[in-house]
Amino acid sequence: MVNDWKARIVKLCEGYEDKNIFNCDETGLYFKGLPNKSLVNPNEDRKGSKRSKERITLLLCCSANGEKLKPLLIAKSETPRIFKKEKIIKGNLPVIYMNNPKAWMNSQLFNE
């Protein structure tokens, strides 16, 4: 199956320069998440708590010749408090900052 796909991908890329062939992937980062496992003895009592669902989404993309595009960061807030407090300008960040109520990628954000 892998050999079949390798042959197909070569045919799909025919006629395109390496600089015009891109691969991208998104990943969710639960920045307030705690580890799943612990060194606590399973027989000992532990405090239970719900997992934090606060997240951001990162979209990373590069071309076949190694050109890396600026990462896209998607968060819930249009203008986080820290941006106002520290007078951070979105355009000066090392990422493209966008917002979505669930911090998920959608077709509108991807097209932008």
Q: Tell me, yes or no, whether 73 lies in a domain.
A: yes
Structural domain of 107: 18-34+50-111
In a domain, 55, yes or no: yes
How many domains does the chain fold into? Answer: 1
User: What is the model's pLDDT at position 33?
Assistant: 76
pLDDT the model gives residue 39: 66
Specify if 107 maps to a domain: yes
Tell me whether residue 89 is in a domain. Answer: yes
What is the dihedral sign for C-alpha 74, 78, 80, 86? positive
Q: What is the pLDDT of residue 54?
A: 87
Beta strands across the sheet bearing 96-99 = 22-29, 56-63, 72-75, 96-99
Q: Which residues pair with 57 in a beta bridge?
A: 28, 74
Tokens coding 103: 């911090």
For the stretch 54-98, pLDDT in tens is 899 999 999 999 999 999 999 999 999 999 999 999 999 999 999
Q: Is residue 13 part of a domain?
A: no
**83 part of a folded domain:** yes
